[in-house]
Structure 1
Amino acid sequence: MHTTTLTAELIRGALDLERTPRGLLPHRLPARARAQCADPQLALAESQPSGVRLAFRTRATTVELDTVPTKRIYAGAPPRPDGVYDLLVDGLPAGSATADGGDTLTVDLRSGATEHRPGPVATVRFAGLPGTVKDVEIWLPHNETTELVALRTDAPVDAVPDRGRKVWLHHGSSISHGSDAASPTGTWPARAAALGGVDLVNVGLGSSALLDPFTARALRDTPADLISVKLGINLVNADLMRLRAFGPAVHGFLDTIREGHPRTPLLVVSPILCPLHEDTPGPTAPDFAALAEGQLRFRAAGDPAEVADGKLTLAVIRAELSRIVRERTADDPGLHHLDGRALYGEADAGELPLPDGLHPDAAAHARMGERFAALAFAPGGPFAR
Structure 2
Amino acid sequence: MVEAQPSGVRIRFRTRATAVELDAVATRRVYAGLPARPDGVYDLLVDGRLAGQQSVPGGNTLTIDIATGTTDHQPGPVGTVSFTGLPDIDKDLEIWLPWDEITELVALRTDAPVASATDDGRRVWLHHGSSISHGSNAASPSTTWPALAAAHGGVELINLGLGGNALLDPFTARTLRDTPADLVSIKIGINLVNADLMRLRAFAPAVHGFLDTIRDGHPTTPLLVVSPIYCPIHEDTPGPASFDPEALPAGEVKFVATGDPAEHVAGKLTLRVIRDELARIVEQRAASDPHLYYLDGLDLYGEPDFAELPLPDRLHPDAATHRRIGERFAKLVFASDGAFAATRSA
Normalising by the smaller structure, the TM-score range is over 0.9
1:374 to 321, 331, 337: 331
What CA distance in whole angstroms lies between the structure 1 residues aligned with 2:67 and 2:267?
A: 28
Contact map agreement 1:78 1:296 (CA 8 A) in 2: no
What CA distance in whole angstroms lies between the structure 2 residues aligned with 1:114 and 1:347?
A: 39
What CA distance in whole angstroms lies between the structure 1 residues aligned with 2:258 and 2:339?
A: 37
What CA distance in whole angstroms lies between the structure 2 residues aligned with 1:186 and 1:296?
A: 22
Is 1:47 matched up with 2:4?
Answer: yes
Is 1:60 matched up with 2:17?
Answer: yes
Match of 1:21 in 2: none
Within 5 Å, give how 1:39-188 maps onto structure 2.
44-188=1-145
| Secondary structure at the counterpart of residue 337 of structure 1 | strand
What CA distance in whole angstroms lies between the structure 2 residues aligned with 1:81 and 1:322?
A: 38
| Secondary structure at the counterpart of residue 289 of structure 1 | coil
What CA distance in whole angstroms lies between the structure 2 residues aligned with 1:184 and 1:46?
A: 15
Report runs of 4+ in structure 1 exceeding 4 Å deviation: none
Is 1:364 matched up with 2:321?
Answer: yes
Is 1:195 matched up with 2:195?
Answer: no
1:350 to 307, 314, 330: 307
Moved more, 82-91 or 153-162: 153-162
What CA distance in whole angstroms lies between the structure 1 residues aligned with 2:13 and 2:73?
A: 33
Within 5 Å, give how 1:20-39 maps onto structure 2.
none
What CA distance in whole angstroms lies between the structure 2 residues aligned with 1:300 and 1:269?
A: 22
Within 5 Å, give how 1:177-256 maps onto structure 2.
177-256=134-213
What CA distance in whole angstroms lies between the structure 1 residues aligned with 2:146 and 2:88?
A: 31
| Secondary structure at the counterpart of residue 227 of structure 1 | strand
Is 1:303 matched up with 2:242?
Answer: no
Aligned residue-pair number: 342
Match of 2:279 in 1: 322
Contact map agreement 1:86 1:97 (CA 8 A) in 2: yes
Structure 1: runs of 5+ lacking an equivalent: 1-43
Q: Residues 76-112 of structure 1, C-alpha deviation per residue, up to 9 Å, x if partnerless?
A: 2221111000000111111111111100111111111
Q: Residues 184-203 of structure 1, C-alpha deviation per residue, up to 9 Å, x if partnerless?
A: 01100000000000000000
Letter in 1 for 2:340: F
The alignment's C-alpha RMSD in Å is: 0.6
Q: Residues 252-273 of structure 1, C-alpha deviation per residue, up to 9 Å, x if partnerless?
A: 0000000000000000000000
Match of 1:284 in 2: 241
Match of 1:275 in 2: 232
What CA distance in whole angstroms lies between the structure 2 residues aligned with 1:105 and 1:171?
A: 26
| Secondary structure at the counterpart of residue 239 of structure 1 | coil
| Secondary structure at the counterpart of residue 158 of structure 2 | strand
Letter in 1 for 2:239: G
What CA distance in whole angstroms lies between the structure 2 residues aligned with 1:308 and 1:237?
A: 17
What CA distance in whole angstroms lies between the structure 2 residues aligned with 1:250 and 1:241?
A: 12
Q: Residues 359-383 of structure 1, C-alpha deviation per residue, up to 9 Å, x if partnerless?
A: 0000000000000000000110000
Contact map agreement 2:92 2:118 (CA 8 A) in 1: no
Q: TM-score, normalised by structure 1?
A: 0.88
Deviation, 1:162, is 2.2
What CA distance in whole angstroms lies between the structure 1 residues aligned with 2:254 and 2:183?
A: 34
Contact map agreement 1:109 1:286 (CA 8 A) in 2: no
| Secondary structure at the counterpart of residue 152 of structure 2 | helix
Contact map agreement 2:134 2:161 (CA 8 A) in 1: yes
Deviation, 1:161, is 3.7
Deviation, 1:75, is 1.4
